[in-house]
């Protein structure tokens, strides 16, 4: 209420909300609407008899604007527009400052009250009550006193008396009630529309965010909503699909037969109940591959229960369906494998202490599936008494701390027969990491056990026979040395004493006897050494490989000198072994390299070695005549010769001795060679613990 030029308009939000919120265009739109309504209201007013005051409702739109406008400058502009608009009985120079005297405080206070308090009230009833009370309070605290002060100053009356009279007479009570009613109604309508818009936006965001496809239809089965996932599955654009019959958008068939499947929406519209799709339902999209889906459809009802439409939720289960089919296929394969292998599966539930038997588990214990009651205690009667303690102890250890379970035990069948079984299992934990189940397999190994026992018996017999043969070879070779020495000695003595009496043929025959006896003597010595590798070996000690090579070369000094051989030795790591046998091994390899050199070229032999972990590798290389690929495997066979004795003398035992020595030390010996390009022998031996090695050197 006031002079026709003495009214102002609504306020805005709290001071903390200046210049944030919606875009400028929205704020300007609110300003223009409320400014126009407020200005129009200022020209529709009722004069209060015998006063210069008029009752109008511009303040309703002013307060609404002060609350809703997010930008201060628009709220101030609205206050100025409302202070100027309307009919005036006083000059503008007086009207505008007078109106601003209460509009500006009302603007600031309203923005604080609304922005920091009322706008956060969720209940519409409490919000409307709070706003109406604020409008009434604004008139009592700001509007009425401000107008009373202005008129007291204009009439030169005491200000305090004017304010008291205004509070007593309440000239703006009717206007405040009217303004409260109009502004409260307006804000409630705007807030209700905003809530509806917010809920719609949240629904749209929710539908777009969820991983399932959602399609809504009206009662005629026409599409009213299609979220992003539904658009992806059907390959229909949402805007293009709206209003179309669902049958155009959604084509459903049986994934296995290809037969059409009725839309669940049609069923819901007909029966007015929630329905689910059958298994193996596939969706044929507008474009793209067929997708396996699962879905349900339900009626949409209003608050009175009347049906408004149907909502259908679809889920793409193509990958899950493929995994399930693959799992079923693997299960069938597992069943076939278990059936073919005669294996059983057992599942021990630790909490209930019960056992599930699958596959051939029951038959492995001589039972029918229905004969086993599922109790762990019942298995004790099925296991041989001597094996029960170890068997159950292993299972308990697995259930307690996950120790690997691999037990071999005997099963006593009801008919008294004994069968060997092997059970392997692992612990399964629950989501909290607690022991949950022990799952394993069982197989019958009775035949395998019998075969192992036969094999062990055969191995023992062979080992005994091999020991006897080694002993025989040692004794035979040892005992043969004496008659051979006698044969050589007496043949030589015969030649010395009666040589001049023998003709040329007799001399040749005597040389043949001596040569054969010497070759037999060499062969017996090599055979004796071969048999001693296992029978006469010494305990392993740290062996200086540099010293080994020098000892071997000393033994071969005559061959090195006569052939003008050059032996280059690198730094060699120490090994762990039988020193005399290592010397024999190295001597055989160097001797071979010297013996099989190219005609007309002095032998060139190099030795190198290196350590790799706990092992030492020794390489002996030469530039001799080489070995054909087809002969490499045969050179380690005892008595095997690749050349005649006339070309290259020897017994054919040296490399067999080297291989036997390497194997006695747990190592290996291999050869790499090409004819005419030399040969490389590689030997692995256990390394010494101190990992020391000597310096290299050259021998000629």
Report pLDDT digits (tens) over 580-590.
888 889 988 99
Task: Please indicate, yes or no, whether residues 594 and 684 belong to a single structural domain of this protein.
Answer: yes
The better pLDDT of the pair 568, 12 is held by 568
Write down the pLDDT at residue 525: 61
Write down the pLDDT at residue 673: 87
Euclidean distance between CA atoms 434 and 297, whole angstroms: 41
Which domain covers residue 376, as residue numbers?
Answer: 340-444
Structural domain total, the chain:
3
Q: What is the pLDDT of residues 323-363, one digit of tens each?
A: 887 877 777 776 776 676 678 888 899 888 888 888 888 88
Q: What is the pLDDT of residues 73-129, one digit of tens each?
A: 999 999 899 888 877 777 887 878 888 888 899 899 999 999 889 988 888 889 999
Q: Is 489 within a domain? A: no
For residue 391, the domain's CATH number is: 3.30.450.20
Task: Please indicate, yes or no, whether residues 596 and 671 belong to a single structural domain of this protein.
Answer: yes
Q: What is the pLDDT of residues 405-438, one digit of tens each?
A: 999 999 999 888 999 999 999 999 988 888 999 9
Task: Please indicate, yes or no, whether residues 632 and 553 belong to a single structural domain of this protein.
Answer: yes
Task: Please indicate, yes or no, whether residues 601 and 653 belong to a single structural domain of this protein.
Answer: yes
**Does the global pTM surpass 0.75?**
no
Number of H helices, E strands in the chain: 21, 22
Write down the pLDDT at residue 537: 64
Task: Please indicate, yes or no, whether residues 366 and 416 belong to a single structural domain of this protein.
Answer: yes
Confidence of residue 17 (pLDDT cuts 50, 70, 90): very low
Average of per-residue pLDDT across 313-332:
80
Write down the pLDDT at residue 615: 93
- Give CA separation, 503 vs 395, 421, 425, 599, in Å: 90, 81, 87, 36
Task: Please indicate, yes or no, whether residues 682 and 626 belong to a single structural domain of this protein.
Answer: yes
Task: Please indicate, yes or no, whether residues 353 and 313 belong to a single structural domain of this protein.
Answer: no
Question: What sections of 242-317 are H helices per DSSP?
Answer: 246-249, 264-271
Q: Which of 323, 356, 387 is the last residue of a domain?
A: 323
The mean-pLDDT minimum among 5-14, 72-81, 128-137, 589-598 falls in 5-14
Task: Please indicate, yes or no, whether residues 306 and 346 belong to a single structural domain of this protein.
Answer: no
Q: Is 484 within a domain? A: no
Confidence of residue 475 (pLDDT cuts 50, 70, 90): low
Write down the pLDDT at residue 149: 84
Q: What is the pLDDT of residues 194-222, one digit of tens each?
A: 888 887 787 777 777 777 888 899 999 89
Euclidean distance between CA atoms 190 and 326, whole angstroms: 57
* DSSP, residue by residue, 557-617: HHHHHHHT-EEEE---B-EEE-HHHHHHHHHHHHHHHHHTPPTTS--EEEEEEEEETTEEE
Q: Is 487 within a domain? A: no
Write down the pLDDT at residue 605: 92
Q: What burial letters (b/e) apply to 39-55, b meaning 16+ CB within 10 Å?
A: bebbeebeebeeeebbb
With 60 as the cut, is the pLDDT of residue 20 above it? Answer: no
Task: Please indicate, yes or no, whether residues 578 and 650 belong to a single structural domain of this protein.
Answer: yes
Task: Please indicate, yes or no, whether residues 287 and 369 belong to a single structural domain of this protein.
Answer: no
Average of per-residue pLDDT across 500-513:
76
Mean pLDDT of the chain: 81
Q: Which of 444, 472, 493 is the last residue of a domain?
A: 444
């Amino acid at each position: 209420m006031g002079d026709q030029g003495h009214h102002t308009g609504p306020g805005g939000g709290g001071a903390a909300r200046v210049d944030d919120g919606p875009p400028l265009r929205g704020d300007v739109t609110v300003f223009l609407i409320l400014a126009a309504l407020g200005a129009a209201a200022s020209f529709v007013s009722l004069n209060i008899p015998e006063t210069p005051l008029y009752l109008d409702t511009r303040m309703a739109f002013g307060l609404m604007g002060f609350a809703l406008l997010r930008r201060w400058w628009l709220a101030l502009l609205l206050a100025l527009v409302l202070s100027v608009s309307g009919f005036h009985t006083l000059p503008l120079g007086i009207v505008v400052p007078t109106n601003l005297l209460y509009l500006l405080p009302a603007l600031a206070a309203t923005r604080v009250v609304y922005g920091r308090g009322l706008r956060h009230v969720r209940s519409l009833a409490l919000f409307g009550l709070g706003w109406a009370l604020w409008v009434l309070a604004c008139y009592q605290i700001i509007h009425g006193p401000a107008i009373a002060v202005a008129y007291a100053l204009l009439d030169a009356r005491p200000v305090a008396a004017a304010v008291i009279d205004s509070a007593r007479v309440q000239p703006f009570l009717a206007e405040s009630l009217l303004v409260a009613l109009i502004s409260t109604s307006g804000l409630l309508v705007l807030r209700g529309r905003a809530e509806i818009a917010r809920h719609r936006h949240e629904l749209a965001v929710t539908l777009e965010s969820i991983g399932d496809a959602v399609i809504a239809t009206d009662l005629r089965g026409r599409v009213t909503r299609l979220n992003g996932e539904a658009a992806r599955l059907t390959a229909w654009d949402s805007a293009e699909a709206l209003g179309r019959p669902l049958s155009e958008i959604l084509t459903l068939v049986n994934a296995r037969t290809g037969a059409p499947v009725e839309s669940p929406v049609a069923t819901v519209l007909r029966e007015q109940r929630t329905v689910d799709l059958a298994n193996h339902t596939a969706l044929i999209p507008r474009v793209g591959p067929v997708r396996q889906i699962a879905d349900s459809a339900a009626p949409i009802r209003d608050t009175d229960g009347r049906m408004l439409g149907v909502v259908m939720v679809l889920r793409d289960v193509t990958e899950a369906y493929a995994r399930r089919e693959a799992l079923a296929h693997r299960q069938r394969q597992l069943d076939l494998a278990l059936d073919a292998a005669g294996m059983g599966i057992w599942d021990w539930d630790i909490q209930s202490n019960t056992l599930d038997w699958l596959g051939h588990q029951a038959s492995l214990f001589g039972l029918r599936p229905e004969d086993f009651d599922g109790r762990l205690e019942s298995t004790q009667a099925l296991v041989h008494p001597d094996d029960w303690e170890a068997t159950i102890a292993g299972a308990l250890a697995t259930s307690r701390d996950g120790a690997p379970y691999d037990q071999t035990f005997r099963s006593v069948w009801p008919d008294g027969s004994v069968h060997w079984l092997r059970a392997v299992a692992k612990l399964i934990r629950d989501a909290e990491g607690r022991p949950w189940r022990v799952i394993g397999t069982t197989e019958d190994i009775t035949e395998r056990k019998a075969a192992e026992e036969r094999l062990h018996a055969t191995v023992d017999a062979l080992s005994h026979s091999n020991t006897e043969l080694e002993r025989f070879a040692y004794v035979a070779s040892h005992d043969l040395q004496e008659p051979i020495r006698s044969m050589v000695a007496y043949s030589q003595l015969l030649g010395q004493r009666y040589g001049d009496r023998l003709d040329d043929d007799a001399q040749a025959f005597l040389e043949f006897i001596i040569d054969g006896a010497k070759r037999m003597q060499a062969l017996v010595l090599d055979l004796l050494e071969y048999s001693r590798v296992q029978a006469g070996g010494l305990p392993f000690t740290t062996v200086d490989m540099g010293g080994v090579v020098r000892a071997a070369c000393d033994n071969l000094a005559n061959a090195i000198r006569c052939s003008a051989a050059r032996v280059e030795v690198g730094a060699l790591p120490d090994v762990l072994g039988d020193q005399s046998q290592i010397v024999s091994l190295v001597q055989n390899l160097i001797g071979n390299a010297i013996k099989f050199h190219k005609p007309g070229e002095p032998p060139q032999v190099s030795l190198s070695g290196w350590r790799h972990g706990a092992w030492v590798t020794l390489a002996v290389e030469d530039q001799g005549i080489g070995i054909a690929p087809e002969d490499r495997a045969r050179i380690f066979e005892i008595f095997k010769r690749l050349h005649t004795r006339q070309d290259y003398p020897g017994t054919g035992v040296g490399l067999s001795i080297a291989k036997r020595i390497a194997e006695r030390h747990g190592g290996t010996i291999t050869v790499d060679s090409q004819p005419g390009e030399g040969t490389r022998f590689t030997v692995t031996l256990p390394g010494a613990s101190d990992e020391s090695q000597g310096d290299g050197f050259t021998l000629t």
